[in-house]
């Protein structure tokens, strides 16, 4: 995700990747009008990850990603709340108790690189009112 976003000039500020969906908050390259480069970036991301996942599962040609939703964030509190939501998504799904423990999200990176005040500010934000199609139910292997 990070390499594809970078190749398309996008700057991701929060991301979380799961087996059946992902979230990210980012902004497009300065030369792009709005998010006009988003469809091309996501086409490449979906293609590359589908090929990789299908090779792992030995299921060539299977459709992995089915659609995406985008939201233009124009109000600062909405933007900050979405950042917090994406960082905490693995906790919401019960995969980890601390967001920074989930290796496929930006929470640990954010805690290492952002100022302490910014981290604390996002931690105080309530995310329970965000309405996102996110009905992910993790499957726990009994090994």
For residue 96, is pLDDT > 90? yes
Q: What is the 3-state secondary structure (H, E, C) of 82-141?
A: HHHHHHHHHHHCCCCCCHHHCCCECHHHHHHHCCHHHHHHHHHCCCCCCCCCCCCCCCCC
What pLDDT is recorded for position 67? 77
> Out of 27-31, 81-85, 127-131, 138-142, which region has the weakest mean confidence (pLDDT)?
138-142
Written as six digits, the tokens of 118 are 């910014």
pLDDT bracket for residue 129 (50, 70, 90): low
Cα–Cα distance, 90 to 131 (Å, whole number) = 16
Q: Confirm if 123 and 84 have CB atoms less than 8 A apart.
A: yes
Say what the pTM is. Answer: 0.80
More confident residue, 102 or 141: 102
For residue 124, is pLDDT > 90? no
What pLDDT is recorded for position 133? 60
Domain 2-124, second-level architecture: 2-Layer Sandwich (3.30)
């Amino acid at each position: 995700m990070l390499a594809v976003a970078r190749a398309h000039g996008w700057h991701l500020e929060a991301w979380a990747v799961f087996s059946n969906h992902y979230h990210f908050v980012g902004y497009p390259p300065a030369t792009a009008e709005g998010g006009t480069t988003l469809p091309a970036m996501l086409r490449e991301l979906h293609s590359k990850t589908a090929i990789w996942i299908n090779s792992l599962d030995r299921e060539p040609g299977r459709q992995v990603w089915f659609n995406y939703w985008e939201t233009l964030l124009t109000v600062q509190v909405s933007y900050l709340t979405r950042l917090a939501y994406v960082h905490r998504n693995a906790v919401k799904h019960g995969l980890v108790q601390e967001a920074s423990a989930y290796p496929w999200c930006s929470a640990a990176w954010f805690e290492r690189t952002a100022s302490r005040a910014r981290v604390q500010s996002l931690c105080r934000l309530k995310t329970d009112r965000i309405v996102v199609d996110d009905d992910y139910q993790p499957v726990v292997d009994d090994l």
